[in-house]
């Protein structure tokens, strides 16, 4: 591969990668001039300038081009082991297609910043390149991926991931408003599964049931299987969630990245189940730890892109003025609650983890991201189990005029009656 970065041209040898970190206030253009190369599994088109901002990426080549590599080019990458994993998954997909059965249900595990999402992209892209249509499930509420941060989602991937937009939250905004089937998302509303474990587990079960429905109807999705990006929790709550996720999604391939103890615990826990494979893969030397400032910027950009799109796919959100009395906003449970099981015997909790509370509009709503529920009634079980049509943003609250200004991807009235609130705020830049 030969490419140009800014004013520089780089040559890559086979199986090496060129790593780039671009700040949010910078733009770097990468153009592939000769050969073949990919970014996290998606091939670059020859001669097309790709623009990156606020991204940490690796341009990888299997084939390479010509003469020796130069600085900043990493020769040690775990890409061969990732490709071998893909080959094994592909064999499972082919067997499933022939027998009409389910393809692999893969769960990616490991602490934060080990490259779980990146590996998910690589495995999904390789599957798509071989004409499969895998389902991508995001159970990491810190990342929006295909919709909005703080939500849990599943989507059927039929096209290659975009090199610049990755999962492309903006591109799915319109689709998610028009379609309640796929991508499907549930608003969890909090950053960590530990904030409301019971709700997190209920939503995971709902998502798994939607995925089962999709797989039952669609033979291609069924044989292609699922790739699940797990949350980065490796404590006791994390283990409880892993066990729950494995049961609900009938996971049969567990991939552990960058955590020895988690790997040996997974091997131990599933040693009796011959139908479950537990694989350990190395963390890439290129995975970058993201500090809280970087993560905040990333989250802010994901939210911005949801409403406004990106430079390639611009969206124009609408500003709606809604009367306090026309809003039905609910909070589900509370964040940071100890689970009911942790309360002293005999003590009852006033608010349970899934109890719904109607929120009276006030200034405290300002800057909240709210989920637009597909629910038709405000009964607890129905509201908790309903998925989302999309999201809106509360840009201003006027307590005197009793009106709320709402930023919505759709014009006219609010497209749904019930709104769900979490502990999720955004300061529009």
Give the whole-angstrom CA distance, residue 252 versus residue 227.
11
Find out whether 17 is annotated in a ligand binding site. Answer: yes
Instruction: Closer to ligand ATP by CB, 17 or 353: give it.
Output: 17
List the one residue from 31, 56, 300, 405 that touches ligand ATP (CB under 6 A): 56
117 binds ligand ATP (CB under 6 A): yes
Report the helix count and the strand count for the chain, using DSSP H and E.
9, 23
Q: Which two tokens stand for residue 40?
A: 């996290």
Find out whether 348 is annotated in a ligand binding site. Answer: no
List the one residue from 232, 309, 361, 371 that touches ligand ATP (CB under 6 A): 232
286 binds ligand ATP (CB under 6 A): yes
Placement of tokens 């159970």 in the chain: 139
**Window of 4-12, 53-61, 204-212, 375-383 that interacts with ligand ATP by CB under 6 A:** 53-61
Q: Minimum distance between the CB of residue 6 and ligand ATP, rounded to whole angstroms?
A: 17
Q: Minimum distance between the CB of residue 108 and ligand ATP, rounded to whole angstroms?
A: 8
Residues 6+ apart with CB under 8 A from 326: 414
Find out whether 115 is annotated in a ligand binding site. Answer: yes
List the one residue from 133, 172, 284, 386 that touches ligand ATP (CB under 6 A): 284
Residue 340: phi and psi, rounded to 5, are -55, -35
**Window of 287-295, 372-380, 385-393, 396-404 that interacts with ligand ATP by CB under 6 A:** 287-295
Binding characters for ligand ATP, 81-110, by CB under 6 A (x = yes): -----------------------------x
CA 49 to chain centroid = 26
Task: Report CA torsion sign: 372, 375, 378, 380.
Answer: negative
113 binds ligand ATP (CB under 6 A): yes
Name beta bridge partners: 162.
166
What single string gives the DSSP state of each residue in 225-241?
-EEEE--S--SHHHHHH
151 binds ligand ATP (CB under 6 A): no
116 binds ligand ATP (CB under 6 A): yes
Task: Let me know: does 223 contact 101? Beta carbons within 8 Å.
Answer: yes
The conformational region for residue 253 under phi > 0 = left, psi -120 to 50 = alpha, else beta, is beta
Residues 6+ apart with CB under 8 A from 274: none
**Window of 122-130, 139-147, 202-210, 259-267 that interacts with ligand ATP by CB under 6 A:** 139-147
List the one residue from 2, 3, 10, 19 that touches ligand ATP (CB under 6 A): 19
Q: What angle do CA 392, 196, 151 make, to 5 degrees?
A: 35
Find out whether 116 is annotated in a ligand binding site. Answer: yes
Q: Minimum distance between the CB of residue 1 and ligand ATP, rounded to whole angstroms?
A: 15
287 binds ligand ATP (CB under 6 A): yes
List the one residue from 140, 195, 299, 353 that touches ligand ATP (CB under 6 A): 140
Instruction: Closer to ligand ATP by CB, 253 or 410: give it.
Output: 253
Tell the burial category of 271 from Cβ atoms under 10 Å away from its Cβ (0-12, 13-18, 19+): exposed
407 binds ligand ATP (CB under 6 A): no
Q: Minimum distance between the CB of residue 94 and ligand ATP, rounded to whole angstroms?
A: 27
Strand order in the sheet with 105-109: 184-187, 151-156, 135-138, 226-229, 105-109, 253-257, 277-281
43 binds ligand ATP (CB under 6 A): no
Give the whole-angstrom CA distance, residue 338 versus residue 15.
48
**Window of 42-50, 55-63, 239-247, 314-322 that interacts with ligand ATP by CB under 6 A:** 55-63
Give the whole-angstrom CA distance, residue 344 versus residue 321.
46
Binding site for ligand ATP (CB under 6 A): 17, 19, 56-58, 110, 112-118, 140, 142-143, 232, 284, 286-288, 290
Annotated binding site: 17, 56, 113-118
């Amino acid at each position: 591969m030969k490419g140009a970065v800014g004013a520089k041209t780089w040559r890559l040898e086979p199986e090496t990668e060129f790593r780039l970190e671009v700040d949010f206030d910078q733009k770097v253009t990468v153009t592939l001039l000769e050969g073949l190369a990919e970014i996290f599994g998606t091939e670059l088109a020859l001669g097309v300038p790709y623009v990156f901002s606020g991204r940490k990426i690796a341009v990888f080549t299997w084939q390479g081009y010509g003469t020796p590599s130069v600085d900043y080019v990493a020769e040690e990458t775990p890409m061969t082991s990732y490709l071998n994993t893909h080959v094994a998954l592909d064999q499972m997909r082919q067997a499933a297609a022939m027998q009409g059965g389910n393809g692999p249900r893969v769960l990616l595990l490991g602490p934060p910043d080990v490259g779980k999402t990146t590996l998910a992209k690589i495995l999904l892209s390789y599957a798509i390149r071989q004409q499969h249509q895998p389902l991508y499930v995001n159970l990491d509420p810190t990342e929006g991926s295909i919709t909005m941060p703080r939500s849990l989602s599943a989507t059927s991937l039929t096209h290659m991931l975009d090199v610049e937009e990755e999962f492309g939250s903006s591109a799915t905004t319109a689709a998610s408003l028009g379609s309640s089937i796929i991508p499907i998302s549930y608003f969890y509303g909090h950053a960590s599964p530990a904030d409301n474990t019971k709700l997190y587990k209920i939503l995971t079960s709902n998502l798994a049931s939607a995925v089962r429905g999709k797989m039952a109807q669609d033979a291609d999705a069924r044989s292609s299987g699922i790739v699940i990006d797990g949350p980065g929790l490796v404590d006791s709550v994390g283990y409880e969630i892993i066990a729950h996720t494995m049961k609900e999604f009938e996971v049969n391939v567990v991939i552990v990245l960058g955590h020895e103890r988690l790997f040996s615990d997974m091997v131990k826990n599933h040693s009796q189940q011959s139908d479950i494979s537990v694989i350990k893969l190395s963390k890439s030397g290129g995975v970058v730890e993201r500090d809280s400032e970087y993560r905040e910027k990333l989250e802010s950009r994901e939210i911005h892109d949801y409403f406004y799109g990106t430079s390639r796919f611009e969206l124009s959100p609408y500003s709606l003025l809604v009367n306090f009395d026309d809003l039905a906003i609910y909070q589900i449970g509370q964040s940071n609650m100890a689970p009911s099981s942790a309360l002293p015997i005999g003590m009852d909790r006033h608010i349970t983890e899934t109890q719904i509370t109607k929120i009276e509009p006030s200034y405290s709503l300002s800057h909240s991201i709210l989920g637009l529920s597909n629910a038709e009634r405000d009964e607890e079980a129905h509201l908790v189990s309903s998925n989302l049509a999309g999201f809106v943003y509360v840009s201003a609250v006027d307590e005197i005029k009793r009106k709320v200004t709402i930023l919505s991807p759709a014009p006219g009235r609010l497209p749904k009656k019930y709104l769900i609130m979490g502990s999720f705020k955004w300061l529009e830049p």
